[in-house]
Structure 1
Amino acid sequence: MRVGDFAKLMFEIAVGDRVIVERMWVLVTARNESGYVGILDNDPTEIAENDELWSGTELPFAAANVIAIMERNEGSLAMAELPPRRSWLSR
């Protein structure tokens, strides 16, 4: 994958005593030694808005977590240059 591509990831989210599975798109913004860094491009449907897992949040992921890829275009390349709403490094 390259910067500007979208990767669809599966997320398992604990909600009370159950686990919700969400499939969401992440915009690839960088590649690093352990995989990739991206910005979440979807909002989860089963949990309330939050700062941990909501659109605009930066997160690391590995190639093994990717279930689909959508190739980059001019618009997604421009989006990949924008800062995240919440940086993963600030945690």
Structure 2
Amino acid sequence: MRIPDLDEDGWCLESGVERHELHPESFPIPDEAERAGLAPGDFAKLIFVIAVEEDDEPIVDHMWVVVREAADGGYFGLLDNEPDIDENDEFWLGTELPFGPEHVIEVQAGNAESRDYAARTPLRSWPRG
């Protein structure tokens, strides 16, 4: 599973584990078993780093993803937030993206509605293979 790259894709994910290790008191994350045991329909909050044309520095945004499936030691999920940027041609509700347990900074159990959302066809699929 290819993880997004800032230069290639215009966005990437920051490691929640690394941020927690740098600031354990002020940046708690779920334990490894919880981050590695997500099921379809569960919610995972991730840290997105997004390149923006008008800025030299990328923006950082925390957004929720609904887990679609487990794959190759990680997950595919559907974006469940709109990013906080003016121009956006990469992300919108329902965009599929890959992520690993190391990227998860918060989790919430899924429900019937989120499991239905996870089962729908993505508006934009992440390339597989």
What is the RMSD computed on CA atoms of the aligned residues?
1.3
Greater strand share, structure number: 1
Higher relative contact order (CA 8 A, sep 6+): 1
Structure 1 gaps, min length 5? none
Instruction: Tell me the equivalent position of 1:59.
Output: 97
Per the normalisation by structure 1, the TM-score is 0.90
The question of 1:27 aligning with 2:27 is answered no
Deviation at 1:79, TM superposition (A): 1.0
Distance 2:127 2:51 in 1: 23
Distance 1:73 1:61 in 2: 21
The question of 1:5 aligning with 2:39 is answered no
Deviation at 1:14, TM superposition (A): 1.9
Identity of aligned residues (%): 46
Per the normalisation by structure 2, the TM-score is 0.65
CA separation of 1:78 and 1:65: change in aligned 2, threshold 3 A: same
Number of residue pairs aligned between Structure 1 and Structure 2? 89
Greater helix share, structure number: 2
When Rg is computed on C-alpha atoms for both structures, the one with the higher figure is 2
